[in-house]
């Protein structure tokens, strides 16, 4: 029997994904759970596992191509299931289909929704000709452009999509020269429309939006549309924090743990959230309900080459500074290797964005909706402060916080921020509370 595995919806509201890398070839034996393909989906690059044991009979889409949710991804020829047994098997699985939809993380309101293992009517009887048949099926689904062999070879060489090129040969056949001209002109065509001088070059560069950019745009807009943003700014004198951090820095370094200020801030925020559960909640307006989370998962906004990612440190309130530091190190390493997975990003309850590492002082951060708030950390700087009526050098850490004013009121936000400042101003409180 042949199982058609369709591209599952692995994220919320996801409708397409881009194939980054195939791990399997046609004819390869796979086991259920083995990674089939790496997809760049909504907000993440993730591996899609095989739902069945069997042999890959067909693969759909090449690396770089976009696949819609519900479109076939692979066909898996299942071994040892033939004839009546196969029909039985087919029935069994068809019946069991609804239960096959795994609820991956029911309590999660975050990124991950449901994972569909097999679509409807996902079974086709295997043909006698086996694998070779699906090869032709695969081909016939693609539009065939008439082109000379050299034009095809050249298009491949110059990375030109031959379907985009207008053929000037007999019967509109795409010739070598057409490819050459297309490659030479490139985006110049777009700019020459208005009788402009050719050598001025293009005024704009038009590129397709990446999946990640699309998602970021969608999420930002959703947050701004739905949450009632309100921001508070403050500064904390952090000389004590600096002292503690420098004391432990080398000690941690011996264990190859890099200790920045971030683990302290995460810990401080997590503990403050425990004291102010309103900020660790979300609002379900439709059902007129408030959802208070009894766990504290802190998302850390990470600036990557591809765009903004928010990996999450689970149960940050229960972790020591050292444990948090290890998690932060892991996240940095994964971000560098572009290996942050869907799993790493799910189910945050509050977010910290540390733009100060790049240089900003204050900002108005956008809430990672539907969370209730986001804390922005600015650049720490030496500044004159007044202590005991004397101006002395101080170390100022600027804090910017945005909250959803629907959920929390100004007084509570200020009290929450004060709590964080207390922790950071005198870090001993982090272990005393």
Which residues are near another protein by CB under 8 A? 148-151, 153-154, 157, 175-176
**C-alpha span between 222 and 218 (Å, rounded):** 6
Nearer to another protein, 148 or 395 (CB): 148
Nearer to another protein, 150 or 381 (CB): 150
Q: Helix 176-185 crosses helix 149-158 at what angle (to 10 degrees)?
A: 20
Distance of closest approach, residue 164 Cβ to another protein, in angstroms: 19
Q: Find tokens 């942050």 and name the residue.
A: 340
Q: Are 392 and 384 in contact (CB under 8 A)?
A: yes
Q: Helix 239-254 crosses helix 321-336 at what angle (to 10 degrees)?
A: 70
Nearer to another protein, 167 or 378 (CB): 167
Distance of closest approach, residue 180 Cβ to another protein, in angstroms: 11
Q: Which residue, among 271, 283, 278, has the nearest Cα to 318 in the 3D structure?
A: 271
Q: Are 110 and 347 in contact (CB under 8 A)?
A: yes
Distance of closest approach, residue 147 Cβ to another protein, in angstroms: 9
Distance of closest approach, residue 173 Cβ to another protein, in angstroms: 8
Nearer to another protein, 152 or 361 (CB): 152
Nearer to another protein, 83 or 149 (CB): 149
Distance of closest approach, residue 62 Cβ to another protein, in angstroms: 21
User: In 10 A of CB 283, how many CB atoms?
Assistant: 17
Nearer to another protein, 149 or 359 (CB): 149
**C-alpha span between 424 and 431 (Å, rounded):** 12
Alpha-carbon 100 to chain mean position: 25
User: In 10 A of CB 364, how many CB atoms?
Assistant: 13
DSSP 8-class letter at 405: T
Nearer to another protein, 168 or 320 (CB): 168
Catalytic residues: 405
Distance of closest approach, residue 154 Cβ to another protein, in angstroms: 6
Q: Phi and psi at residue 414, in whole multiples of 5°?
A: -65, -40
Distance of closest approach, residue 186 Cβ to another protein, in angstroms: 20
The two three-digit tokens of residue 329, written as one number: 């190190």
Q: Which residue, among 403, 407, 404, 405, has the nearest Cα to 420 in the 3D structure?
A: 403
User: In 10 A of CB 103, how many CB atoms?
Assistant: 10
The two three-digit tokens of residue 344, written as one number: 């790493």
Q: N- to C-terminal Cα distance for the chain?
A: 61
């Amino acid at each position: 029997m042949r199982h058609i595995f369709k591209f599952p919806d692995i994220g919320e509201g996801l409708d397409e994904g881009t194939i980054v890398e195939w791990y399997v070839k046609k004819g390869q034996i796979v086991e259920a759970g083995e990674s089939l393909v790496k997809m760049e989906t909504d907000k993440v690059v993730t591996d899609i596992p095989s739902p069945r044991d069997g042999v890959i009979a067909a693969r759909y889409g090449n690396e770089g191509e976009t696949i819609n949710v519900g479109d076939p991804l692979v066909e898996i020829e299942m071994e040892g299931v033939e004839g009546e047994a196969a029909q039985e098997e087919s029935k069994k699985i068809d019946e069991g289909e609804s239960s096959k939809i795994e609820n991956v993380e029911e309590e999660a309101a975050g990124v991950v929704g449901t994972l569909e293992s097999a679509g409807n009517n996902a079974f086709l009887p295997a043909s006698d000709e086996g694998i070779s048949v699906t090869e032709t099926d695969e081909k016939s689904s693609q539009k065939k452009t008439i082109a000379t062999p050299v034009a095809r070879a050249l298009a491949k060489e110059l990375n030109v999509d031959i379907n985009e090129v207008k053929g000037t040969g007999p019967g509109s056949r795409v010739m070598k020269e057409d490819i050459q001209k297309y490659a030479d002109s490139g985006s110049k065509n777009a700019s020459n429309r208005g009788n402009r001088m050719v050598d001025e070059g293009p005024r704009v560069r038009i590129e397709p939006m990446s999946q990640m950019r699309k998602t970021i745009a969608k999420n930002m807009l959703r947050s701004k549309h739905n949450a009632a943003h309100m921001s508070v700014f403050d500064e904390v004198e952090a000389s004590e924090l600096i002292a503690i951090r420098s004391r432990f820095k080398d000690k941690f370094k011996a264990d190859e743990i890099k200790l920045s200020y971030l683990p302290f801030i995460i810990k401080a925020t997590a503990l403050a959230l425990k004291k102010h559960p309103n900020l660790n909640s979300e609002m379900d307006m439709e059902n007129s309900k408030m959802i208070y989370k009894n766990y504290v998962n802190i998302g850390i906004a990470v600036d990557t080459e591809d765009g903004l990612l928010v990996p999450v440190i689970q149960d940050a309130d229960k972790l020591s500074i050292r444990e948090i530091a290890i998690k932060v190190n892991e996240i940095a390493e994964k971000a560098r290797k572009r290996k942050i997975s869907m799993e790493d990003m799910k189910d945050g309850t509050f977010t910290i964005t540390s733009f100060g590492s790049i240089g900003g002082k204050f900002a108005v951060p956008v809430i990672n909706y539907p969370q209730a708030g986001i804390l922005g950390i600015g650049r720490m700087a030496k500044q004159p402060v007044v202590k005991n009526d004397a101006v002395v050098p101080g170390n100022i850490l600027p804090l910017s916080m945005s909250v959803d004013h629907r959920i929390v009121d100004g007084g509570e936000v200020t009290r929450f921020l004060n709590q964080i400042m207390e922790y950071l101003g005198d870090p001993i409180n982090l272990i005393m509370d």
